[in-house]
A and B are shown apart, each in its own frame.
Chain A
Amino acid sequence: MLDNLTQRLAGVIKNLRGQARLTENNIQDALREVRLALLEADVALPVVKEFTAQVKRAALGQEVIGNLNPGQALIGVVHRELTRLMGATSAGINLATVPPAVILMAGLQGAGKTTTSGKLAKLLREQLKKKVLLVSCDVYRPAAIEQLRTLAQQLEIDFFPSDAGQNPRDIALAAHDYAKKHHHDVLIVDTAGRLAIDAAMMEEIRQLHAALGPIETLFVVDAMTGQDAVNTAKAFGDALPLTGVILTKLDGDARGGAALSVRHITGKPIKFVGVSEKLTGLEAFHPERMASRILGMGDVLSLIEEAHREVDQAEAEKLARKVKSGKGFDLDDFKMQIVQMRKMGGVSAMMDKLPAQLSQAAAGSKVDDKAISRIEGIINSMTPQERSQPELIKASRKRRIAAGAGVQVMHVNQLLNQFEQTQKMMKMFSKGGMAKMMRSMKGMLPGMR
């Protein structure tokens, strides 16, 4: 996500590592790199200037204590300042009002308001057990209402129908009435995308806001936004009393500097981030983790959270029992592991969350999503008997499997080797426990494919 910033800063810090102490001079070099890195990451210039000034102030006053070297001390400062700039603690959504709690979505065209409205509805229902009603006030973009209706249907969330001939304010008020009568906890109001300079449209959303009195007014912004993020955020912030920000499309390779800019300009917390095309792809924003990630410390925490949510608990427990017994781990289980991995967005999504050095090592090891689907294909081409007794698979079966999966026999051999190694590891795990396994894994990692 913020890879380049990560790498860039990693380079700076490396340069600093050789230094005995921080001087006015060498911190200047480091700060210039930080400034460039942030600009290339699309952090808006005024924000960059302020940020580097803060870091400098904090760093120069900083005493290098204990075992820390100056480089580590500076990382500490940058990390603290980054975290502080993005909001010190993660802010949840506020629904503490007389129901229905109204959430108003606002933003530019194409920021992702409609998709995010759907994702947010799902999140509120699943994590907070709320009864949610969705309504679209976008009477301008063709089929925008239809889009939200389809999403609501997919998610099995209540949807208040509207049509393009109606007035947005009337739609919103009718939906509010309906939500009240039908005891919905939350009403999410999707709006048309609008330019901050379009006075008539900004007036329209001001009126929507006045009519609805939403407890949350969320500014939806594309993580790929450039320098203009500052102006847009400022204009929306001036027109509407925003309560928070949602950053979308963070699963792309944009460096996400908009996160810093928007947070800085609006002064409002980033409440959620959109991290996948899938309707589960909305996560709470954690400034601390984001800062860690910027600095190349990886986002292992949210990886764990995701694993927890996506992995089928029952299947996982079944697997755990098998692993514990040390036998019976067969190719079907192997495939299931792979499927679970896919559910978490595939290898690339997972690698994205690993610390920079680890993910670079992993990238070198040729584990990619394509290889994984190939493995799945090969296993699918095996008979159930072959899957439970892989030792049956000899030359002629290998040829048949390879033909069935559309791969070379070599690939079948590779898979069987890989499976054998995993099986060995499982046995070791049941006998010698974790420590032994880690030791053997260390030896295996460079050659892993």
Chain B
Amino acid sequence: MFGFLKKSAPDQPAPEKTSWLGRLKSGLARTGSQLADLFGRGGRIDDDLYEELETILITADVGMDATRFLLAELRHQVKLQHLTEAGQLKEALAHSLLKLLAPLARPLETAAHQPFVIMLAGVNGAGKTTSIGKLARYFQGQGKTVLLAAGDTFRAAAREQLMEWGARNNVTVISQQGGDPAAVIYDAVQAAVARKIDVVLADTAGRLTTQAHLMEEIKKVKRVIAKALPATPTSPAAPHEVLLVLDANTGQNALSQVKAFGDALGVTGLILTKLDGTAKGGVIAAIAKAHPIPVRFIGVGEGLDDLRPFVAEDFVGALLGSDE
């Protein structure tokens, strides 16, 4: 069992990595193949080519702003490097995309504090609870002890869902029947301190950003977590990381989610889930342009090990359908 767990550590063996990359690639394949087709066709760089590229980017949820930005970047590079052939544009695009996305690839470091408290937030159905199950597995794979807090006291059976994840990973879940979310997480953080746990993952109920009272509630949850583990001279108050979980199928509303949750909670990282569908994940580019918050993890499958740190090069490579 431990050998299996080790595989999810960051320095995983090569064959595993390719298969995971392969899945990321197949998830983004539609955009990749469209672009490969566009660039592979040959011919000169002209307005039609730019327009087609604009279309592809928009249909990948890149959004108007980031699309305009990328196209302007491209035109600039084309001028600078005197590019003329459509094929040359691919590398230029990869370069522009990487420049946009690279700042987001900052993996989460949990070693600085103990317990390291991570709070998860997001709209309904983004995949918070499932992500927690996978994150628990990820941190266990790094040899860390994990504790889960069932802070979604609203949705029917959310608690049971988390407990099931806990049972699968052999992780303690702190929960209360119909309790107050802040109180449940407060208890969990205190338990983690007592048991010297490394990482606490706190679930919260899904909420739409328009529901003012629920946004107030989650602000309170964060304040209460800070009370459970206040700042010391050497470390800031908990939570040490606030992760916003985003569904890759989401369109431009992802931007307003990042903004609203960011304003309310000071989001420090993002998880992009469900990249294994036909969604293109271009919304990352839109986010990078408007609210550059680190993307900590991306999810490309249903398996426990399918949530991985975001690597900008891999993502751009998969998006553009480049070879290894």
Residues of A near any B CB (own CB < 8 A): 36, 39-42, 44-45, 108-112, 115, 140-144, 146-151, 154, 195-197, 222, 224-229, 231-232, 235, 249, 251-255, 257-258, 277, 346, 348, 352, 368-370
Contacts and interface: CB of A to CB of B under 8 A. Distances in A.
A368 B249 contact: no
Given A226-B249, A227-B58, A147 B155 contact: yes
Contact of A348 (B123, B212, B276, B277): B212
A108 B256 CA distance: 22
Given A112-B124, A147-B155, A228-B277, 13 more contacts: A40-B63, A45-B55, A143-B157, A146-B161, A195-B277, A226-B249, A228-B279, A231-B278, A253-B260, A254-B253, A277-B154, A277-B208, A346-B213
B44 interface: no
Interface string B163-199: 1110010000000000000000000000000000000
Interface centre among A36, A41, A109, A346 (most CB of B within 10 A): A109
B223 interface: no
A226 B58 CA distance: 10
Nearest to A140: B302
Contact of A110 (B125, B213, B254): B125
A222 B251 CA distance: 10
A368 B156 CA distance: 29
B161 A224 contact: no
Interface of B: 30, 55, 58-61, 63-64, 123-127, 130, 133, 154-158, 160-161, 163-165, 168, 208-213, 216, 247, 249-254, 256, 260, 274, 276-280, 283, 302
Contacts, number: 156
B161 A232 contact: no
B127 A109 contact: yes
A249 B124 contact: yes
A110 B161 contact: no
B125 A42 contact: no
Contacts of A369: 212-213
A162 B60 CA distance: 39
27 contacts: A36-B64, A41-B252, A42-B61, A44-B59, A45-B59, A108-B249, A110-B124, A115-B124, A142-B160, A142-B161, A142-B168, A143-B158, A147-B156, A147-B161, A150-B157, A151-B156, A196-B277, A222-B249, A222-B250, A224-B123, A224-B253, A226-B252, A227-B280, A231-B278, A232-B249, A254-B256, A348-B210
A104 B252 CA distance: 30
B151 to A, nearest CB: 15
B259 to A, nearest CB: 10
B239 to A, nearest CB: 23
Contacts of B161: 141-144, 146-147
